[in-house]
Structure 1
């Protein structure tokens, strides 16, 4: 939708929640708001730093951490180096991909990602040699580059930093697949070259005792297309920050997410799109399902359209399906617009239970209530799985979702 405009130079902050995606625009809006003891301003003003000391250990009163059970994450905020053998890495490397390591300060490390919280700063500082994967310019990978990360035990702490660089006009899919159990800080920085098309899929299939804090940042060059898909099905606590900004006009970013929370799980996803150049596009869609006592999901989506980003086209949407009593979904879309010269900008959020009309339609055709519920949930979540475009992985995830639904007791 197009935002209303007062003048070409009007500034506005749009922040709120709407089932239909409408936004309120007022050039006199105060952009500061508070929760607890902290007052927050624009998303762009939040601290980023490579220094761990610049970030206090979160108390839970901060805007960035108010939904998160921070008392359970002390191990991940510690400056003590993580255990070397806490996770195992298995790499499936297609022909032509360059693999190496990058020291702290060695380019292109630090090009796309600057830590935005203490956990990411700890991971950055602790990893002396980051994993590096380079896709040469003009190359199209016939198979995905896959990195499987397996935790070696409950409470073992690991810090990880990976750098992924897609050369100009390359085409590739990269998969990160997390298994096992550990306390895991994972940074991923992504550089998408001019005209490249890159899909990154991050799957969290941790055991029930795992804790995972992650920051994935992408820098997208002129006319490049970047897609990030986050699928979170396992882990006691998972908190993933997925961020994108632009390095040239005509760049596009799509961020998709799917999560299924069982009893006692906390699954939190945060997205930030920084439209910092003219004529860029973004689309964000995250969908979740929850069942069981104290199942908790959080989605916070931030979009910033800077004053120089004329011609921007942006939309973000979050949907949550509550399957049983006792589950809670928090959804906070935020949209800041600093120029009226845009193609469109909007956001939407909805949380609810089964649609009785859908169930009635299916049951009226001889389908049992249980199977009708299964079909509705499967169709609802498959929208995101189908964005991956890797048939083998899509089939795996569909089967994993089937198991989640069968075990949920909500059908």
Structure 2
């Protein structure tokens, strides 16, 4: 007499499409559970697919659904746009954003009023809008939700700057209307003890372009996860990232690019440098080309340069294609040390080793810096890289 043992039920799992009754865990970003209610999420343990690379104990306070501390993070806006406020339920807040993890759900529920930046239709901003978030102290908790909307055929740049220290959960909702061209640059230059978990979600409409750049230098743990949907025919996304991780720092980005509309284009390139004991970077890149995304052209890559012993970079590119009618799709990942041939070439021409190493690192990272498009910020970022390199030499 034979017996049959049923497969165990796993929370968050779904059945195979063959109907056999077995269960598999959710693997792709598009299948993850989403909710505005923090109570709908379980506290991360570090075993979940979206938390397995993250030291969750260092983000523990951001998993608690409690009010933030008054004055924990002061947010100011400068430039050609005036900011407005959006209550929950007021359009366009929530038009494209639904939390996909616990910190994002808490930030949604605890941000009674979202910061709203709206670029009018057909407007072209002649200078960037700068949103500066200044943390008061590492023991203080803060939440924020920001909505950035680029009207039809508009052009503009928004820079998000983060300095000081705090425990900060942040949502950024990005809406790019038909024919618009929007650039969003988020710069993390926190003090060494800050914790920052940010969820960016964007939708790009017909013939529109979003350039999204993540720059992370400071902070004990910084996790910035962009999620971009190319919804309209002919839409384009350029997703770039730059990180420089020092001793004890954890800098992470989990990128999701969903090609939903036809004739869409995606270009994803993240670069990172690491130095010092315990320096760590994590990059996960998920690209989904949907069944209606015919004519898609998409490529994602991650490159990491490990400068010292004791540093570690984790890189995972994923590509899922649900249509056979595409122009091209690919992904790549590489992590390594200095190219000995480059160093030999430079030293053979009389350049000292320290200067040769400096030139190689600057050449490696400046590709992302040059994509920023804001000259003053580009110079500032190059100076920040020089400072990091000086710290390495000092060690």
Which residue of structure 2 aligns with residue 233 of structure 1?
217
Q: In structure 1, list runs of 5 or more residues that go unmatched.
A: 1-29, 32-36
What TM-score do the two structures reach when normalised by structure 1? 0.89
Q: Is 1:165–2:169 an aligned residue pair?
A: no
Deviations 1:41-81 (A, max 9, x none): 33211111111111111000101100101012111011011
Q: Is 1:365–2:349 an aligned residue pair?
A: yes
1:47 to 33, 37, 41: 33
Q: Which has the higher contact order (CA 8 A, sep 6+)?
A: 1
Shift of 1:360: 1.0
Contact (CA 8 Å) 2:354, 2:393: kept in 1 or not?
Answer: no
Contact (CA 8 Å) 1:324, 1:410: kept in 2 or not?
Answer: no
Deviations 1:259-294 (A, max 9, x none): 000000011111000111111111100000001111
Which residue of structure 2 aligns with residue 58 of structure 1?
44
Contact (CA 8 Å) 2:136, 2:165: kept in 1 or not?
Answer: yes
Shift of 1:38: 7.9
For residues 230 and 244 of structure 1, what CA distance do their matches in structure 2 show? 13
Q: Is 1:251–2:235 an aligned residue pair?
A: yes
Deviations 1:182-240 (A, max 9, x none): 00001100101111111100000000000000011111010001100110000000011
2:78 to 92, 117, 126: 92
Which residue of structure 2 aligns with residue 108 of structure 1?
92
Which residue of structure 1 aligns with residue 114 of structure 2?
130
Q: In structure 2, list runs of 5 or more residues that go unmatched.
A: 1-15, 18-22
2:376 to 381, 387, 392: 392
The range that moved more, 141-150 or 97-106, is: 97-106
Contact (CA 8 Å) 1:297, 1:328: kept in 2 or not?
Answer: yes
What TM-score do the two structures reach when normalised by structure 2? 0.93
2:130 to 122, 126, 146: 146
Q: How does 1:31-46 map to 2 (within 5 A)?
A: 39-46=25-32
SS in 2 for 1:397: helix
Contact (CA 8 Å) 2:231, 2:259: kept in 1 or not?
Answer: no
Pairwise CA RMSD: 1.5
Q: How does 1:218-297 map to 2 (within 5 A)?
A: 218-297=202-281
Which residue of structure 2 aligns with residue 27 of structure 1?
none
Structure 1 runs (4+) deviating above 3 angstroms are none
For residues 372 and 281 of structure 1, what CA distance do their matches in structure 2 show? 37
Shift of 1:410: 8.1
Deviations 1:235-270 (A, max 9, x none): 000011011002310000010000000000011111
Which residue of structure 2 aligns with residue 340 of structure 1?
324
SS in 1 for 2:358: helix
Which residue of structure 2 aligns with residue 305 of structure 1?
289
